[in-house]
Structure 1
């Protein structure tokens, strides 16, 4: 009987994790599609150094005028594929690690942070090649202010993979992995704040949060996480774009650290400390709105799925 209950709880946990993973993936893909042009504006500001940072609507208007009406949605498909895989992996790891670690006990912020970091590391190592490819596809055909940027010619996701491996080696698919690993702090901080605020709001007793509450705590969590980690995100975009060349005589880790330091110092030297936050307005607008909408959809999809399955679960857990 003990064996049965262990088996049953592990089934429930893996099923629960799957529901969370699918809900997170669907929620994030929908939210990203709605606010995708804001991400296009942010990426241009980060990578194209000579583009002046104006207001986000002005940059989008400029892109539409120069490159056509659909330009803000350039690279949508690879981004959505990457995001779907990325969030599925992240939510699945986060909830299955949490379930096996806590075994039904109440979570605390430090646990959420550690689990968030672990889930983030798995996610980065698995999905970085997808993000490298989609950064390239998203910027392909853009009119850059910086004349040194080399144009690329990829016909799609697979072609981009093959060309990068052929011309730059397999390792290039993991460009920007080191800042990405540092950036696992972003979703980890976001989830820690989100779960913490959720626990605070539910203090009065178990209840389902309203969409407005989920929107607000999702937005606050993402705004804090994004601002704290933004300079590293800029460096990550530049490295993924693959235009930055540096001597790699030392070990990979040392040269990664040196590259990050070099890019950060150059940026500060050229544009001052605020240069590290170039495009932050577009990024905050996009990520805060996207995260808030993603969390609402994620909570709704997950709770609906659990409600549909809930009757069976309720009976099972009572017998146990």
Structure 2
């Protein structure tokens, strides 16, 4: 197993996944800004994504949709490097050349997600704060923050809220490992179906489509928890949820879900889903496309093209 964990192939997959995700997120970053604003700012009305972005640009300036780009990209790069590295090294050590099945992909995806969450949650807490800093909220109860950068945000959060605050939202994040796990299970399954036992490289269109389908399903299924995750990472609660600070993490999640449903109905749990689906589906599709092409080219240069195709 040690040889698979430290294999060069795992490093290639990790770097390819990180580069692909960073490029894709940069292209569709404004859509993520619209999604996050709708999730956290409860008083902002959910409208079409273009309308939300136009409103943000009008009130906060042309570059506002790209606010917090750098910390998000840093977090995403680290997160996807860890996830792709764990997923491919665990898969190689588990299968040892055998054909994978959906249940195996799901289990390996969950294990990789748990490692990823525990390692990278502080980065996502900081990037959520920085991305929302300076925003004009409809909710007057939200307290403004003043971080000068990533390191200053780490220092202030640790000093003012305690070191544990850097892991705010860890429990919903752990539950949300189902998102990439489901995504990779569907993606790998569709790849096997398209190949039907014939080792070949999929076309760019095929990779883009199956990446989009896989992410759309995973996002829709897990979206309510993603909303709670964003609220917890932001670190601010309205009066209706102050009591949850004294509860366990599970009761906190339950309290936030129930309060949101009481105020806005079941659809309140899916506020911002349109923006999230557009952003995450397009980002994931482009990310998988770039990931496959970068990995394929790298393995081709290394002379490992055939073995790479067989493993996939």
Fold shared per TM-score above 0.5: yes
In structure 1, how many angstroms separate the alpha carbons of the residues matched to 2:152 and 2:103? 42
**2:151 paired residue among 144, 153, 158:** 158
**2:93 paired residue among 95, 100, 107:** 100
| 1:53-68 map, 5 Å | 53-68=46-61
Question: 2:299·2:305 contact (CA, 8 Å) conserved in 1?
Answer: no
Unaligned runs of 5+ residues in structure 2 are 308-312
1:232 corresponding residue in structure 2: 225
1:85 corresponding residue in structure 2: 78
In structure 1, how many angstroms separate the alpha carbons of the residues matched to 2:265 and 2:52? 22
Q: Deviations over 1:260-317 (max 9, x none)?
A: 0000001111111000000000000000000000000000000000000016998xxx
In structure 1, how many angstroms separate the alpha carbons of the residues matched to 2:175 and 2:136? 31
| TM-superposed deviation, 1:14 | 1.3
| TM-superposed deviation, 1:229 | 0.1
Question: 1:46·1:237 contact (CA, 8 Å) conserved in 2?
Answer: yes
In structure 1, how many angstroms separate the alpha carbons of the residues matched to 2:7 and 2:146? 42
| TM-superposed deviation, 1:102 | 0.5
In structure 2, how many angstroms separate the alpha carbons of the residues matched to 1:50 and 1:312? 53
**2:211 paired residue among 210, 213, 218:** 218
1:3 corresponding residue in structure 2: none
- 1:124 maps to 2:117: yes
Unaligned runs of 5+ residues in structure 1 are 1-5, 315-320
In structure 1, how many angstroms separate the alpha carbons of the residues matched to 2:304 and 2:142? 58
**2:257 paired residue among 245, 264, 272:** 264
Change beyond 3 A, Cα 1:312–1:12? farther
Change beyond 3 A, Cα 1:201–1:258? same
Alignment RMSD: 1.6
- 1:274 maps to 2:267: yes
Question: 1:13·1:99 contact (CA, 8 Å) conserved in 2?
Answer: no
TM-score by length of 2: 0.94
**1:295 paired residue among 281, 288, 292:** 288
Count of residues in Structure 1 that have an aligned counterpart in Structure 2: 303
| TM-superposed deviation, 1:205 | 1.1
| 1:1-320 map, 5 Å | 10=3, 14-203=7-196, 205-244=198-237, 245-249=242-246, 255-310=248-303
Question: 1:179·1:233 contact (CA, 8 Å) conserved in 2?
Answer: yes
Change beyond 3 A, Cα 1:43–1:311? closer
In structure 2, how many angstroms separate the alpha carbons of the residues matched to 1:281 and 1:241? 21
| TM-superposed deviation, 1:246 | 3.9
Change beyond 3 A, Cα 1:23–1:162? same
In structure 1, how many angstroms separate the alpha carbons of the residues matched to 2:74 and 2:255? 32
Most deviating of 76-85 and 240-249: 240-249
1:318 corresponding residue in structure 2: none
Change beyond 3 A, Cα 1:311–1:34? closer
In structure 2, how many angstroms separate the alpha carbons of the residues matched to 1:233 and 1:296? 24
SS of the aligned residue for 1:285 comes to: helix
